[in-house]
Chains A and B, each alone.
Chain A
Amino acid sequence: MLTNPDQLILWQYGIIKINATLAFTWGVMALLALVSYIVTRRLAVDPPLTKMQNLLEVIVFHVNLQIREISRQRPLRYLPLIGTLFLFILLSNLLAIVPGYIPPTSSLSTTTALALCVFVAVPAYGISQIGLWNYLKQYCRPTFFMLPFNIIGEFTRTLALAVRLYGNIMSGVVIGAIFLSFVPFFFPVLMQILGLLTGTIQAYIFSVLTMVYIASAIPPHDDKESKNKTPGDKHE
């Protein structure tokens, strides 16, 4: 049985192989880019908005709201990373209802790549906010002896991010395939619905955890941007 979409080679030329993970990742990326391109060509301010623009605005607004509530800062800095992660994971999990599609997130290579993005982004945001020296000093908090544990924590949480997403989606795919082979009619549908729910929650959790990690790399009381913000300034 196929448990890993990396092993499904769709196209091969010499040593260059296109496996199912790559192909479906490109498919999801193309879909996201295409829809965003089409919608943002005809943006309107006045009320007769297109349905797609409404949908996009709702998504962006709520992602912004979540980022603001977690980090207590202006969300514009973090929106590209968090929003892209959320939309990519959500779409690649939800497309599992399409027959023949294997979620690229059910392969450990995709989820590792996503977790590595977070692994790089956390120090990048931290250093750009508070400077290299202040950022490095954070590893010695609360005392110098916590240095090795803080460094270990940096790696284990990346591993946990990758394995969590991979385990959830892969188990959904595998359990669906197993049930399909011996109770063909009704039960696999229930497992599929459960898989859609899990996929949505995992997309949310992945982006919230990313935001929590980034927010924890920035000292809590260093909100110079939100100081000159008026209380009614909820929307950007």
Chain B
Amino acid sequence: MNELSLIGMMSIFTAGITIAIGSIGPAFGEARALAQALAAIAQQPDEANTITRTLFVGLAMVESTAIYCLVISMILIFANPFWEYAVAHAGG
């Protein structure tokens, strides 16, 4: 196995692992926040607007960790600097 295929293999493998682990945590966090918000709306329907808006802001914050992982895995697959370096030096 030459270096180029090793880099390609590791990039794709790492991208998969990144998105897998990186989506578990935010999913748990968002589910927890959603459950709490639903319970709060059920108890106080009058405050549904405020709760929903705060929930959205909080979800956006939690979600940004998942987005970071997504961007990293996209970079690994489509714009991997090591891959481009290796291709340029292999004369490809």
Contact = CB atoms under 8 A, between A and B. Distances in A.
Nearest to B60: A205
Interface residues of A, number: 20
A63 to B, nearest CB: 13
Interface string A157-185: 00010011011101100100000000000
- What DSSP secondary structure best describes chain A's contact surface? helix
Interface in A127-181: 160, 163-164, 166-168, 170-171, 174
Contacts, number: 43
Contacts of A168: 67
Contacts of A1: 78
Interface residues of B, number: 16
B71 to A, nearest CB: 5
A122 to B, nearest CB: 15
Contact of A163 (B68, B78, B79): B68
Contacts of A174: 74, 78
Interface of B: 49-50, 53, 56-57, 60-61, 63-64, 67-68, 70-71, 74, 78-79
